[in-house]
A and B are shown apart, each in its own frame.
Chain A
Amino acid sequence: GAGVSQTPSNKVTEKGKYVELRCDPISGHTALYWYRQSLGQGPEFLIYFQGTGAADDSGLPNDRFFAVRPEGSVSTLKIQRTERGDSAVYLCASSPDPRDRVYNEQFFGPGTRLTVL
């Protein structure tokens, strides 16, 4: 079946602009995660949704970052007043309902490469 999809695959913007990144999780997966991966590093957690609500947003670096998942499926990560340091690959992952499971397999999409000039 279809995996996690993310659009756009690449986004170039100028410092100070607003960007939106989209994630379509695997059908039927209720949990959705956003991670950020800088060059040469492992992914770093940003936010986790269970259904429509953000269950854990402890990884968001500051209030310029915000994410929504209004219908419990597609999610959008929004970054205001972008800075050059925001340049990274933004990864989305999804899981089957973790409330039914003890463990937490996460399946990743291909990512969106964001470049802030």
Chain B
Amino acid sequence: GENVEQHPSTLSVQEGDSAVIKCTYSDSASNYFPWYKQELGKGPQLIIDIRSNVGEKKDQRIAVTLNKTAKHFSLHITETQPEDSAVYFCAASTVRTGRRALTFGSGTRLQVQP
């Protein structure tokens, strides 16, 4: 089955700096890669996703890149703000075989220092 590895496990940046979180996946059939933000005591919130037919996607201060050849994808947050502090999860899935399960990475705790 799919295996998703995520790093770093913790990341501390100064307000205004950029943050980058990286993930690798194992199943070449995976074609959908969402990123979730989880605040303490809450469920994961979908913040951006990328599909296998796209190499890069941007939404305001957040961007995601995908390299299918190398089987890795990354989340980039620019101009970080204290409210960006949370745990971020990457995930991967494929719908080709009819399975819809997301396989998640182990998470990155981002702390933005004011």
18 A-B pairs whose Cβ atoms sit less than 8 Å apart in the complex: A31-B100, A43-B102, A44-B104, A48-B99, A55-B98, A56-B100, A58-B99, A58-B101, A91-B44, A98-B95, A98-B100, A103-B31, A103-B51, A104-B100, A104-B102, A106-B102, A108-B45, A109-B43
Which B residues are in CB contact (< 8 Å) with A111? 42-43
**Number of B interface residues in the complex (CB < 8 A):** 28
Assembly CA distance A43 to B106 (angstroms): 8
Contact B101 A42 (CB under 8 A): no
Q: Known contacts A35-B102, A104-B102; can you find 4 more A-B pairs with CB under 8 A?
A: A33-B102, A43-B104, A45-B101, A111-B43
Please state if B32 and A43 are interface contacts (CB–CB under 8 Å).
no
Residue numbers of A with Cβ under 8 A of B are: 4, 31, 33, 35, 40-45, 48, 55-56, 58-59, 91, 95, 98, 102-111
With a cutoff of 8 Å between Cβ atoms, the chain A residues found around residue B106 in the complex are 40-42
A102, B32: Cα distance in complex, Å: 9
Contacting pair A104 B43 (CB below 8 A): no
Chain B stretch 73-101: residues in CB contact (< 8 A) with chain A: 89, 91, 93, 95, 98-101
| Interchain CA distance A110-B101 in the complex, whole Å | 18
> CA of A104 to CA of B46 in the docked complex: distance in angstroms?
12
> How far, in angstroms, from A59 to B43 measured CA to CA in the complex?
19
Q: In the complex, how many angstroms separate the beta carbon of A113 from the nearest chain B beta carbon?
A: 9
Contact A104 B93 (CB under 8 A): yes
Q: How close is A8's CB to chain B, nearest CB, in angstroms?
A: 14
- The reply to whether B32 and A42 form a contact with Cβ atoms under 8 Å apart is no
